[in-house]
Amino acid sequence: MIKEDNDFQHFEVIKRNRNKRYKYKEFFIEGVNNINQAILNNWQISSFLYSSDQRLSDWARNILNNVHADSIYELTPALMEKLSDKTDTSELIAIGKMKEDKFSRLKLKEKPLILVFDRPSNKGNLGTLIRSCDAFGCDGLIIAGHAIDLYNPETIVSSVGAFFSLPILRLSSYKEVYHWVLSLKNSYPDIQIVGTSARGESYINGCDFQKPTVLLIGNETIGLSKNYVEIADSMIRIPISGVASSLNVSCAASIVLYEIARQRVLENVR
């Protein structure tokens, strides 16, 4: 049974330290739904952590007996409590392996929809946006520029499991996004890059989302960078009638994603 030694310190630093997460390419997974979704979507598991002093559920025992992990560690109840963010200490915690940021992970449909989030700075917003992307049929999410950590435990929790089913890539700049879109022109000649802004030139329902679309969402504070505005084929906005000049970024993105889904679903039922 592990006491507070190097192994436990490794798990703790993976949970709390962004730089260490990327050094070891591992991240912290807690919660029944998150662990289930990680397994269901074939994420590699580096380690499972549990305490034999706690009576394990059939769910936990089944995972420990049947799901491959490089290592399984038995911790003291005190250490499990120290690691867990749950009010009632988790009976099972997983350490997952990060996936590579390759465009090949994006399995594009006949009419692709990719969302690009420019320099997100809030963990909750990012997690909520991941959830919306999954709910409204995005082929993937791209996080571009200097941003909040995708693998932060709070981001993963706020995604409510969608983190593991939605392909998500981290890219360093808008140039990678633009060159990738250009490379898709042979397969999708009518692909469009659509930016969002409170000062967009047209409303969201005036945009033809039947076309393959790359949707650009800006940073929570300063919106889309000039570089993204320049590569956008059009800029759209949400009609707002109240005193607020703009919406929370995850709310705004969800509204645009709903409009895209509405247009595409209505087209299919005509």
Residue 243 has a pLDDT of 66
Question: Could you state, in order of their start, the residue ranges of all structural domains in the chain?
Answer: 6-97, 103-269
Residue 69 has a pLDDT of 97
Q: Is 170 exposed, middle or buried (0-12, 13-18, 19+ CB in 10 A)?
A: middle
| pLDDT 10s digits, 103-157 | 999 999 999 999 999 999 999 999 999 999 999 999 999 999 889 999 999 999 9
Q: How confident is the model at residue 240 (pLDDT cuts 50, 70, 90)?
A: confident
Q: How confident is the model at residue 270 (pLDDT cuts 50, 70, 90)?
A: very low
| pLDDT 10s digits, 165-177 | 999 999 988 899 9
Specify the CATH class of 103-269 in words.
Answer: alpha beta
CATH 3.10.180.10 fits 6-97, yes or no: no
267: pLDDT strictly greater than 70: no
Neighbours of 105 (CB within 10 A): 12
Using an 8 Å Cβ cutoff, are 30 and 155 in contact? no
Count of alpha carbons within 13 angstroms of residue 1, beta-carbon side: 11
Do the domains at 6-97 and 103-269 have one common CATH topology? no
